[in-house]
Each structure stands twice: as C-alpha cells, then as structure tokens.
C-alpha cells in the first residue's frame, strides 16, 4: 500500500499490475520526449529572429508533422490493445468468489464451497489495534490462495459501487442487476488494500476492501475452519 511519501503507483502484487506499470512508464516516457521536443522548438522560435522562406505552406513539413504523431500513437496503441486482451483473459480459474456491494459494506460468497459467505465491515476507529490501518482494515478479509487464478464476480444490491484493489490491478464496477466478471492473480502472499471507487452515498469512504493472499495449504485450512 502507498505511504505518505509515495507519489508513484503502488507496488504490484500480480503480473497484471506489473504490465500496467510497464505500460504507464512506457507512455510517460513518450510524453516526456514529446514535451521536451516541443518545448525546445518553441524556445528556438522565440529567440530565433531568422525566417525560413519555405516554411509557410510547405508540403514537406506538413507531411512530417502528420506522419510522426501517427507513428507515436501506434507505439502507444499496440501495447494498450495487448493489455486490454490480457485483462479480459480468464483461463481455468481455481475458485470463484462472488462479491456484492451494499450501502456501505461488502459481502463475499465462495460458491465452490458450502456455507462460506460473510459480510465485511470497516473496523471503527475506537476498535482499531496498533497494527490496523485507519479506514482501511475490515473485520472479515477476503482470503484467496496465492499463485492461483481466481474468478471474481461482482454485483451490487442497491446502488453502483466499484470493487477496486490497485496493487492487484483490479477495478470492477458493481452494478445492481448485472454480474460483472474479471480474473485475479496474486503472485505473492500479503495483504492488499482497496476502497470503493464509485461515489455511492454518505458512507462511501467507509467500505474498504482487504484481500489476504496466503499459500494454498493455509487456504485449505481456512476453508476447513470456515465450513
């Protein structure tokens, strides 16, 4: 999760978020190059008193400044399209988790197992322990096995919510009457924090998300204890 001095993206906890970070850096580098180039040209035009007689209505320079932006957009579009297809890809998920957004809490249902469903509420400030994060910790965490493909099914019971965990690269809108689907993969154990990113009412800021990624053996023990 980000600390107070962290101005960049959160540390990735999934291969998908790693690819999103790489694309962010790739696009930002192109934008920096364009900004520096345009800035140098503008400074040169301001301080240069000479006039090129073939500059006005020049077909050559118009062709150049039409083709170069098109090539630049291709270098941005190809990785972006590749990433969109990676986002939608779901291959043989290990388990499925159904998530329902309420005003103002989340409920989780593990449809592959019997009787594993629970509500997840934010821990009030007066009940926080020393190791808890204010406005981010919950009483019941969503537990998943690490290094496993997880299918996420998200919907809402009342208004539109958004189930978002930035470090895992997941942001899925929870719409009443509609079931949205995505995949989730955690390549390391740990706690991953998120929040509802759709303004859903007065307590919108008080329905956090905590995903606990653990090894497969510990997950099996958790399932046995939860049934």
Q: pTM score, two decimals? A: 0.79
Per-residue confidence (pLDDT) for residue 2, from 0 to 100: 60
Of 86, 80, 85, 90, residue with least CA distance to 23: 80
CA count, 13 A, side-chain hemisphere, 57: 0
Assigned token pair, 112 = 């592959």
Q: Is the pLDDT of residue 148 over 70?
A: yes
**Domains in the chain, ordered, with CATH?**
15-88 (1.10.287.90), 95-226 (2.60.40.420)
Tens digit of each residue's pLDDT (9 = 90 or more) over 98-111: 999 998 999 999 98
Report DSSP letters for 36-58, one per residue. HHHHHHHHHHHH-----TTSTT-
Using alpha carbons only, what angle is made at residue 227 by residues 114 and 175, rounded to the nearest 5 degrees?
Answer: 50
Task: Give the mean pLDDT of the chain.
Answer: 86
Q: For tokens 């001095």, what's the residue? A: 5
Chain-centre distance for alpha carbon 108? 20
Per-residue confidence (pLDDT) for residue 1, from 0 to 100: 58
Q: Is the pLDDT of residue 53 over 70?
A: no
Per-residue confidence (pLDDT) for residue 5, from 0 to 100: 60
Tens digit of each residue's pLDDT (9 = 90 or more) over 195-218: 999 898 888 989 999 999 999 889
The separation between the first and the last C-alpha atoms of the chain, rounded to the nearest angstrom, is 31
With a CB cutoff of 8 Å and minimum separation 6, the contacts of 36 are none
CA dist 146 and 153 (Å) reads 18
Q: Are 174 and 106 in contact (CB under 8 A)?
A: no
């Amino acid at each position: 999760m980000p600390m107070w001095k962290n101005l960049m993206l959160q540390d990735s906890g999934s291969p998908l978020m790693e690819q999103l970070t790489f694309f962010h850096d790739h696009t930002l580098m192109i934008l920096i190059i364009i900004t520096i180039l345009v800035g140098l040209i503008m400074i040169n035009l301001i301080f240069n008193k000479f006039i090129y007689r073939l500059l006005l209505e020049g077909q050559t320079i118009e062709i150049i400044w039409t083709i170069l932006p098109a090539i630049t957009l291709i270098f941005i579009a190809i990785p972006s399209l590749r990433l969109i297809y990676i986002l939608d890809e779901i291959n043989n998920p290990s388990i499925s988790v159904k998530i329902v957004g309420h005003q103002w809490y989340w409920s989780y249902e593990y449809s592959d197992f019997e009787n594993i469903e629970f509500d997840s509420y934010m821990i009030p400030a007066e009940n926080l322990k020393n190791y808890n994060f204010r406005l981010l910790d919950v009483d019941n965490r969503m537990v998943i096995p690490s290094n496993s493909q997880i299918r996420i099914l998200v919907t809402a019971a009342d208004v539109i919510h958004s189930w978002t965990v930035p470090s895992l690269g997941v942001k899925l809108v929870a719409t009443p009457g509609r079931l949205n689907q995505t995949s989730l993969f955690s390549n390391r154990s740990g706690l991953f924090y998120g929040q509802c990113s759709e303004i859903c009412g007065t307590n919108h800021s008080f329905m956090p998300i905590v995903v606990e990624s653990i090894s497969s053996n510990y997950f099996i023990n958790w399932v046995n204890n939860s049934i």
